[in-house]
Amino acid sequence: MATKPAKSVGNAKRPDSKKKKPVFTAQDGRDQKKDAKRKGLKPGARNSVESKEQKQAREAKNKDARVGSRKPVALVAEAPVKAVKPVKPAEPKPEKKEVAPEQQIAKWERELDKLENDDRLNALLDKLELEQPVSEEEQEWLDKKLARHQELLKLLGLNEEDKEGSSDQDELLQRFIDNDFDPSQFDSRYKED
């Protein structure tokens, strides 16, 4: 059997004196007991002490404003009165600068030349003459440009249709006056056999 190892001489403890017991009073015991019961956190806002100002502010906030009001209340409904808004004086609109007629005509002529020399416009017109399909977007753009072209022709007094129609009428009238009018030139009903 194995025996216990012998204790070394230096490790032995010798009691010098008796153990001292602490001196407690009855009050100290009660305080220790209270502290032992209060191990958790302190209670929250429900038990905290508030200042008087905060209490008064909260009471004023919670107080029903309708109770004790001294303001007179109308018992008959009146027609609502619309608030009149102050009318702002109308700001004068900036007037367009009047351009001299010569400058305006020159501007229109430049725009007309630009339209007539537009490569995209000419290419689309060539496509239409050859009866090739054109997209809706291109057709819309083409219609806008042609409408502007017609408008510029009217503004400048260069309508080819009006010129041709009026010149034909003037020419016919002049031939009639000069007795050189031959109806067979213009209508198949008057052809001589």
Q: What CA–CA distance (Å, rounded) separates 171 from 155? A: 25
Q: pLDDT band at 140, cuts 50/70/90?
A: very high
Q: Are 124 and 134 in contact (CB under 8 A)?
A: yes
Q: pLDDT band at 11, cuts 50/70/90?
A: low
Which tens digit of pLDDT belongs to each residue from 35-94?
877 766 666 665 565 566 777 777 777 776 667 767 888 888 877 777 777 777 777 766
pLDDT value at residue 154: 87
pTM above 0.75, yes or no: no
Residue for token pair 């009903």 = 189
Average pLDDT of the residues in 176-181? 62
Which tens digit of pLDDT belongs to each residue from 88-115?
777 776 666 676 778 888 888 899 899 8
The values of phi and psi at residue 184, to 5°, are -70, -20
